């Protein structure tokens, strides 16, 4: 698209007030060959200089958003990202969630990334790899939990990783937020008494059986 057509389109859309004067403005600055095609968000009645700066800098990168809900397993996260992000597939994500790729201190006691991929709405651009996406989630986990005080739990013989696992069980077992304190108390009491947890969510996780009821055999 040549300068004349661009100027006419900008005037038609109300971005500038005069296509001819805008063409002169661009030509006087020798920018007529520097205009970059693309999709732009421009304000109506803009100053010529602001419009020129934007359309010579190039359009903003296309972004892709995806949501990781609370309680999702690593497998569910792999599937969600591969489904929502067109340039990432399941194989990319499965390789990226291998814990051996990462050396965060908080992963030292874990054999997988289960529980560490922080639930949130994320936004990425096309230059992100699956590894970049996983790194972003792990960095978010560190940001959200790095200032937590685990001293009370540690005095009870529980590590930060133990707390993460217990939190995950509470998340799955409590149907409403008001039930979380009760579920937490039940779990801690059973741990203290060295009793079986009897938590359905742990069996569902082990069997990867979330959408159908558990049987006595399970």
Q: What is the pLDDT of residue 207?
A: 67
What is the pTM for the complete model shown?
Answer: 0.69
Residue 132 is predicted with a pLDDT of 97
| CA gap 59, 40 in Å, rounded | 6
**pLDDT at res. 211:** 64
Burial 170-202 (b: 16+ CB within 10 A, else e): bbbbbeeeeeeeebbebbeeeeeeeeeeebebb
pLDDT given for residue 218 in this prediction: 59
Topology of the domain covering 61-146: Dna Ligase; domain 1 (3.30.1490)
Q: What is the pLDDT of residue 71?
A: 84
The residue extents of the domains of the chain are 3-57, 61-146, 148-218
| pLDDT for residue 217 | 64
3-state helix/strand/coil string of 123-151: EEECCCCHHHHHHHHHHHHHHHHCCCCCH
Which residues does the chain have with pLDDT short of 50?
none
């Amino acid at each position: 698209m040549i300068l004349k057509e661009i100027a006419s389109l900008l005037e038609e859309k109300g971005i500038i007030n005069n296509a001819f004067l805008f063409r002169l403005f661009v030509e006087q600055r020798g920018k007529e060959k520097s205009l970059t095609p693309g999709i732009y968000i421009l304000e109506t009645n803009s100053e010529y200089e602001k419009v020129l700066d934007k359309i010579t800098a190039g359009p903003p990168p296309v972004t892709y958003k995806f949501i990781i809900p609370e309680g999702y397993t690593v497998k569910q996260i792999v599937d969600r990202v591969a489904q929502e992000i067109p340039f990432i597939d399941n194989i990319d994500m499965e390789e990226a969630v291998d814990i051996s790729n990462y050396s965060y201190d908080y992963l030292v006691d874990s054999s997988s990334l289960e529980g560490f991929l922080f639930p949130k709405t994320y936004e990425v651009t096309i230059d992100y790899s699956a590894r970049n996406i996983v790194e972003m989630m792990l960095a978010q986990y560190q940001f959200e939990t790095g200032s937590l005080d685990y001293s009370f739990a540690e005095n009870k013989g529980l590590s930060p990783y133990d707390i993460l696992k217990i939190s995950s069980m509470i998340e799955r077992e409590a149907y409403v937020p008001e039930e979380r304190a009760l579920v937490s108390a039940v779990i801690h009491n059973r741990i203290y008494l060295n009793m079986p947890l009897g938590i359905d969510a742990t069996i569902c996780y082990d069997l990867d059986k979330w959408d159908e009821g558990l049987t006595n055999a399970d």
